[in-house]
Structure 1
Amino acid sequence: MQTFKYLQETLQSSSEVLYFKTIGNTHQYYDFITYDYFILMLFEKGNGLNVMDEVSYKINPFQMHLYFPEQTLFYQLSPDAIVHEIHISNELFRLVSQHLKHSFAYYKKNPVINLTPEVFSKIVKECIGIRDELSMELGIQQIIKYRLHIISMMISREIYDHLPGNDGQPPLLLKKFLKLVILHHKENRSVTFYSEQLGITSNYLTILCRKYYSSTATAVINGEVIQGIKSYLANTRIPIKEIALEYSFYEMSTFSSFFKKHTGMPPSGYREKHFVSRTLI
């Protein structure tokens, strides 16, 4: 497995995010490789083949491909290819990914998104902005972080607009579900609440989530809650007790148990580790 640390050492860089631009087919993955970090690939021109976890995807212009840590990767490009890549360390990716609104399982199952030239240009513009900021001797870390957040939110929006479906009805229900979760996850973590709002049974909502997100309705709701709590812990100094109340946890023990169950560490431990790491770029 190739590590981000190895990449940093090779490039003599301490940055937690790196930008690469490939022109032509000089840079190829000739064998299956596994990485311990996230890679965003934007194919501006050319074609080829990208194989992730032994699933082949055709490369075409204006496509975005998402590679998650510990997947296998292999791709070949045509001589006229132009590719923009953002490589993000796993530690930083855990912070940035709080803006990805769908489960990782869904993204891994649907890693390729066809973009309009306009949307593609907007995402590339943010990538170029990261490159320019990294090249400055006194590059502002917070600007880089904001650009990564913008990119992750744009990815979520594009996934949202490309939800699969035969007659359109299941994706429409799921879009409404996601909107409701975003609006009400702080005070409502019950699947029943959302299914009643949608006029369907809790069981059917879970079936839809399993089919399109490879997840359960409960996991989608809890994922939104956890990502929101992570954001508060990593980016603010708001007391943990106040964060718990913000998310309708009235007992600290319940809040701590819930957070630890989904992250493997207590809220205080997460803040101690990630509030400092937010300055790492």
Structure 2
Amino acid sequence: MKIAPDSGKNLLANSFVSFKEISNEAELTAPKENYFTLLFVEKATGVLTIELTDYQVGPRQVHILIPGKPYHWKLDAPVKGYRLTISKDMLQMFPPFFQFIFSQYDQPPVLDLDMPTFKKVLVECLAIKEELSAANISLELVNARCLLITLIISLWKSGECGDMLMGSAYSIAHAFKTLVDENFRKHKTVSFYAARLCITPNYLGIICRKSFNKSALEIIQERVLHEAKQLLHSTRKSIKEIAFDIGFPKLTYFSYFFKSKTSLTPVAYRKLFERSVKLSVEK
């Protein structure tokens, strides 16, 4: 499908996918709501801070940025990179395997690619840039190249595709994570999800260990913790309101859960985050 130059370019850039070359720290921002970003670092050194965790920045990296999280970069010149932003609507058109690198709690946000893999990704990125600047933009071609980029990264992460790509265990693993996203506020037990998937809790645990190197309960709890952190640093809701929002009947249960995972109370975490943001701005 070829799209008329003006309306098509706006549609792709603003609604589906956009591409931007990065040459300084000021151009790095967190993705907007309903948008996901792949940041390809060709040249830079420094630190990326996400929710109080620091990651060393270096060449040949991919930063996987999801909406709703705070990202703060502190980089030394020179900086050279490329930002590929994909809308949630476009991402949902991808097959499940291609969506996994954008999981909110499955993978580390910073990947150190080998040179051959990074070069393959850059070739596709620059091809997307060229297509987006063409007089007649092919949405199918842009979509295909985005798919190829996610496939290259996904296969690099898994080391080898094997049964992961098409196996039934992989399909169950993806279905499990989808169910967790939809139900984690009300349901936090492995048995609930196993019943929905028509398998035993033990078998679900085996699949999670094989696919994610984590237990099913760890995945559920990581999703709950991610939501709690997001509400703590992006809203002014009270701790009690947040506890109820994510399904804890009592504030004490939520506080115990949060401290067991972070070694901080929700109040201490919020204060520490606000302090770190203030220091980052002052620098």
TM-score by length of 2: 0.54
- 2:32 is aligned to 35
CA distance in 2, matches of 1:81, 1:63: 13
2:168 corresponds to which of 169, 174, 181:
181
- 1:148 is aligned to 146
| 1:114-263 mapped onto 2 (5 Å cutoff) | 114-161=112-159, 180-181=167-168, 191=199, 202=203, 205=206, 208=209, 212-213=213-214, 215=216
Residue identity in the other structure for 2:99: L
- 2:99 is aligned to 100
The alignment's C-alpha RMSD in Å is: 3.7
In 1, are the aligned partners of 2:205 and 2:216 still within 8 Å (CA)?
Answer: no
Task: Classify the secondary structure of the residue corresponding to 2:49.
Answer: strand
Counterparts in 2 of 1:215 and 1:67: CA distance versus 1, 3 Å: farther
CA distance in 1, matches of 2:152, 2:104: 18
Counterparts in 2 of 1:120 and 1:35: CA distance versus 1, 3 Å: same
In 2, are the aligned partners of 1:105 and 1:214 still within 8 Å (CA)?
Answer: no
Residue identity in the other structure for 1:35: K
CA distance in 2, matches of 1:130, 1:85: 11
Task: Classify the secondary structure of the residue corresponding to 2:20.
Answer: strand
Instruction: Return 5+ residue gaps in structure 1 as ranges.
Output: 1-11, 163-173, 196-200, 220-281
CA distance in 2, matches of 1:48, 1:218: 30
- 1:13 is aligned to 10
Task: Classify the secondary structure of the residue corresponding to 1:148.
Answer: helix
Residue-by-residue CA offset, 1:192-241 (whole Å, 9 max, x unaligned): 7xx9xxxxx6265156269735647999xxxxxxxxxxxxxxxxxxxxxx
Instruction: Return 5+ residue gaps in structure 2 as ranges.
Output: 1-8, 173-196, 221-283
Give how far 1:91 is off. 1.4
- 2:54 is aligned to 56
Give how far 1:70 is off. 1.6
In 2, are the aligned partners of 1:105 and 1:215 still within 8 Å (CA)?
Answer: no
Counterparts in 2 of 1:21 and 1:183: CA distance versus 1, 3 Å: closer
- 1:276 is aligned to none
Give how far 1:102 is off. 6.3
Of all paired residues, the percent bearing the same amino acid is: 19
How many aligned residue pairs are there? 184
Give how far 1:55 is off. 2.2
CA distance in 1, matches of 2:23, 2:219: 44
Give how far 1:183 is off. 8.4
TM-score by length of 1: 0.54
Counterparts in 2 of 1:76 and 1:97: CA distance versus 1, 3 Å: farther
